[in-house]
Amino acid sequence: MAAEKNKYTVLISEEEISRRVKELGEQISSEYSGKEILLICTLKGAVIFASDLARSIKVPCELGFIKAKSYAGDHTTGSVDINFEDIPDIKGRHIIIVEDIIDTGLTLKKLSEYFWAKGPASMKICAFLDKPSRRKVDIKADYAGFEIEDHFVVGYGLDHNERFRNLPFIAKL
């Protein structure tokens, strides 16, 4: 990691992340009081956020995973590749799709249309980061950690060619 030290600038610190994730957990816990949640984490980028978020939610909560890919390196390919195998049963359940970042919105549009057709009792979107200036389709997060400008960012699960996911903060390259 030392060799990579000067290649990025910290944008959101570990402390800010920890505070915000706890706030989101509290908000979700209070809004879903008396209910059970199925958190659907998009792999791989949202795995660290979803792990922290799940631990800050105080109502019963199941975790499901789905693999989605739309980026190659630091640019969007414009098409979304989703692996729909091993999806937990969604019908009648309160689901929250947990995403690392909303950029064009194409991934979440495809995922939310797919999940909605399966008949959940309710469906919301929780994104750790949001880049509204990049949006190509009309998608909004019900819960969002931080709004950021149009930077390519890494850390806290987000990668560049599979590197940097383990940084405990968000940095721009």
- Which residues are catalytically annotated? 103
Q: Residues 50, 101, 170, 171: which binds ligand 5GP (CB under 6 A)?
A: 101
Question: Is 105 an interacting residue with respect to ligand 5GP (CB under 6 A)?
Answer: yes
Q: Is 3 helix (H, G, I), strand (E, B) or coil?
A: helix
Nearer to ligand 5GP (CB atom), residue 59 or residue 80: 80
Cis peptide before 67 (omega within 30 of 0): no
In the complex, what is the shortest distance from the CB of residue 159 to ligand 5GP, in angstroms, rounded to a whole number? 5
By C-alpha distance, which of 109, 111, 66 is closest to 88? 66
Measured CA to CA in angstroms, residue 119 lies from 35, 57, 122, 125 at distances of 17, 24, 8, 16
Nearer to ligand 5GP (CB atom), residue 58 or residue 67: 67
By C-alpha distance, which of 69, 64, 67 is closest to 40? 64
Cα-Cα-Cα-Cα torsion 152, 156, 157, 163, nearest 10 degrees, comes to: 70
Q: Residues 38, 53, 66, 102: which binds ligand 5GP (CB under 6 A)?
A: 102
In the structure encoding, which two tokens stand for residue 64, read together? 């499901």
Burial of residue 92 (CB within 10 Å: 0-12, 13-18, 19+) is exposed
Question: Is 64 an interacting residue with respect to ligand 5GP (CB under 6 A)?
Answer: no
Nearer to ligand 5GP (CB atom), residue 65 or residue 71: 71
Question: Is 104 an interacting residue with respect to ligand 5GP (CB under 6 A)?
Answer: yes
In the complex, what is the shortest distance from the CB of residue 33 to ligand 5GP, in angstroms, rounded to a whole number? 29
Site string for ligand 5GP, 125-164 (x = CB under 6 A): ---------------------------xxx---xxx----
In the complex, what is the shortest distance from the CB of residue 121 to ligand 5GP, in angstroms, rounded to a whole number? 25
Q: Is 30 helix (H, G, I), strand (E, B) or coil?
A: helix
Question: Is 112 an interacting residue with respect to ligand 5GP (CB under 6 A)?
Answer: no
In the structure encoding, which two tokens stand for residue 73, read together? 């390196």
Q: Residues 32, 52, 94, 99: which binds ligand 5GP (CB under 6 A)?
A: 99
